[in-house]
Amino acid sequence: MLKPEDNERLTRVGPGTPMGNLMRRYWIPALLAEEVPTPDCDPVKVRLLGEDLVAFRDTSGRVGLMDIWCPHRRANLWFGRNEENGLRCVFHGWKFDVNGRCVDMPNEPPTSNFKNKVRIRTYPTHEAGGVIWTYMGPPELMPEPPDYEWLRAPATHRYVSKTYEECNWLQAMEGGLDTSHSSFLHNNNLADRKALRTRATAPKLEVEKMPYGYRYFSIRDLGEDGNYVRAYQYVMPFQQMRGGMIDWVTGEVEKYPLIHGHLWVPIDDVTTWVYNWMYSSNPDQELPREHAIALETWFGRGPEDTLPGYRPRRNKHNDYLIDREMQRTKTFTGIVGVNTQDFALQETMEPIVDRSKERLGTADAAIIAARQLLLEALRDCEQGRTPRGVDPATHRNIRGCDWIIPKKESWEKIKEMMYALF
């Protein structure tokens, strides 16, 4: 369990909060590239770490991310005109470029130089992997942009989406770091006793701290068949990478061996954007879009499962369309969609979980380690040191994996599979 004061430090993300200051030291996702698809397209509202912003792609294709409030009279710039390399406020015509400079002020006399004295707050952006990333921290401390393997994978090998989640970012992320729950929450075939995670419901966990966060191993004893080892990566401050080489249900090797994961990006203290990514780990094997969509549907976030604004159709306002007969006879939860099952538990705890009331066991080793690393990073940030994982060199060549290995086989095979090829 956590002390209440530590829980506050870890969960609050607004400007000036300890965790807010820490997260602003990293490049983080602001929106999907598909949300600003073409030059001079419609601007997009963005709420990130408790700040209200607006994003737009200018005539030259550059993406700007700025304060949503015009510095003149605080009008909402989302209503603005995206034109000729700038976003123009429709109240009095003031226009700003992607760097925050006021480039036109038509309601002032032509002889006035007032526009040269006005700037709007902007944040730098970086486009990679189908995502628009931003850095919101001190400019003098800005690191190089992220360079995860999934960002380097060609578009033909990669798929990315996002989902809106109604809870604090930390409990959403901790759900992803928790590996033992998959034997229960994600048991989608009660009749199948041969599924890997049904055969071994209490994995042994090993956690190893790394310069970017940690890597951890979930080891399930399959008896004479060997050990099912799933190797995850936790990348500071809120990303998880995991393997998908073994089909969860059949235990067979996937036709398209995937690496996949999530980033849990705080919108504010009580809502989260979950960025979901996957890519083929074989440079010679593309990821067909239809295969990616089929997986998205299985996770519960396919096109038919998603409402406008990336919101799940099955949500807490309709009890996730739980089917009690299905729960009695077919699946552990009666809820369709692996990620929908996650959301059902994470969103209905509390908007922010009171971790001082928890009772954690050995199966929670990865969650405990993540909290320790985050508290360490908070102290580093407050004392002027560089937090773990800020430097992209620390995470450039890592990936997750899973495999079944014979009892006597060396761990080196698994560790070798955790290094990038792209």
pLDDT value, residue 412: 72
Q: Which domains does the chain have, with CATH numbers?
A: 27-141 (2.102.10.10), 149-416 (3.90.380.10)
Name residues of the chain where pLDDT drops below 50: none
d(CA 270, CA 14): 11
* Strands (DSSP E) found in 204-317: 204-210, 213-221, 227-235, 239-246, 253-266, 272-280, 306-307, 311-312
What are the angstrom distances between the C-alpha of 262 and each of 29, 265, 278?
Answer: 11, 9, 9
Name the β-bridge partners of 214.
Answer: 209, 234
Instruction: Read off the pLDDT of residues 219-256 as tens digits, 9 standing for 90 and up.
Output: 899 998 888 888 999 999 999 999 876 665 555 666 66
> Which residues, at least 6 apart from 290, have a Cβ–Cβ distance to it below 8 Å?
none
pLDDT value of position 251 = 58
- Helix (H) / strand (E) element for 372: namely helix 365-382
Task: Give the model confidence (pLDDT) of 50-81 as tens digits.
Answer: 999 999 999 999 999 999 999 999 999 999 99
What's the pLDDT at 243? 85
- Amino acid 250: pLDDT: 59
DSSP state of 304: G
Measured from the Cβ of residue 192, the count of other Cβ atoms closer than 10 Å reads 12
Residue 247: its pLDDT value, please?
A: 60
pLDDT at 254 (0 to 100): 67
